[in-house]
Structure 1
């Protein structure tokens, strides 16, 4: 029970210290300010002890004043303004050194620590100003004969400020790197989600469009009492749905980083012909022309072209099922060109462009480094993708 309570207190303490650091605009781990606070207490105790001042209320007060800002912060979470904190520490150190100078003296190290803390938690000009004030005070005490070896202590304060500035800049660099990694991680997650959404949209959209055409054909055949055609249409619809499920599993497995074992390999450019044949079997009036060797295309290029053709045919099935269409895949003259063209039905100026279809195809083309266009040309709706041969 006591161990659990102690752990809970320690967690709260760590969280509060790091939250306080964040308020100051830095993100130091909890042990750095804790170590600094313990070091300050140790130096104050040593400075009072070497003066045999535990019987002197003034020396004890000087030691307490010197560590007051850190003690108040660690115990109450109240953060003093930097200049106020520096002035209080300096005041406590001066009480010790003026009332009872000793040689060597631990008290000036409190100013070294204060200079380092200030530089590690605030802007460089302010930190340098505090360090200069501390060094000036030590130099004056040296000239006054109250501090032997004042020059070494002055250099110590300068080194303390330098160490604090270096620590602050290092922490800022670490924060920038962490922020960069977080942004990259979020962008990677968003990219994977977008890829998955495009895969699902293309596979499901195409399969639904083609299946609906088969189902519509089955309904017409049923009205004509042609049961053979009904069975044939429904079987084609079932085949399209099953193929879509296999395709979808493969796509999700690949995006998730799996090997995709146990599922059919992802489609490539060689399967565009099958895609057109499936659409033709579903009732679309679509022809296919092929020039070159699509089997030799890289897998990524082939998959991208396949998805663009798949989405284009799905759009035709959805918006212009009675149109005359043609799919052409050409690999020649150092370029690869995919064109999907269909007539525009009377009364329809252009296919509907609202949705994920066209933006998804444009994104796929961009990923391939291809030029993509979609629009009216010579009275037809034309989707064209052109990229340099690889």
Structure 2
């Protein structure tokens, strides 16, 4: 069984954000799995996705919630905690304890709400550099993440490549797309349409659970593709149900989405999802930096890129662009496209093809 250690570090120095504002002080919450050796050179940084947090493995909270990468992290697994020290920080703006909209504004003593500054992907990486320094980690043996976490890995490679021993980028592209940006806009509208949202100042009252649940339902349509829904549910009715010719949920697919919506309540902070999706909107590695080759000009570490053939949000051909550039600058690169019916969310829900790749790559 993996043992989870959690901590929140308060940094007194200001963190200058890309939006031009400072966070002062700022907090970073993180989870640790395994022990850091005396040299500090056995650390692997794992960066979480949009709707997950630093609880990547083990059991957490009074409900003993499982980790989102239990299949990957633990004794004898691909990220072997008997050998490696796994560090998983909570992103800025998220809902796991790092500075975000639910944090107390030192000027008012009340939650920031929508007064919290926009924190970009690069800003989260900057906060993680502070955490690495605090922990005495000069260079990570490896850095890995998927989707939102994969964007952060790319930023580490571009801005702090000398501190990356090897990198694993899963289902992430060098920039967001107009289509994804539009999808996030609709998801944010779902939250803001809830009367309980109150412009983001809901922390003293009932949270916007209806809007959050609707956003989660929309999201479930994006994480899994059409084929997955057909295989899992088809047009099956709920047990004991016959066509009722009404509008109450009676199909398995409907019941699944209802459950997704219910589970979102109390597990995620609505404002945080507004901020994290906005951070993705602003993600474009070439903005202000020339070409993608210019971005990675000084990067040389081995890199594993993993895409999924049925991922229409972050397609394999766009990840292939990264592989071409990395090979051109001299970074040993291996790009694997896995065929899983889960599409984009497969790195979380269908890890059978992924775990041996991770284990072999990190062991070298």
TM-score under structure 1 length normalisation: 0.21
* Higher helix content, 1 or 2: 1
Structure (1 or 2) with the larger CA radius of gyration: 1
Greater fraction of residues in strand: 2
Using CA pairs below 8 Å that are at least 6 residues apart, which structure has the higher relative contact order? 2
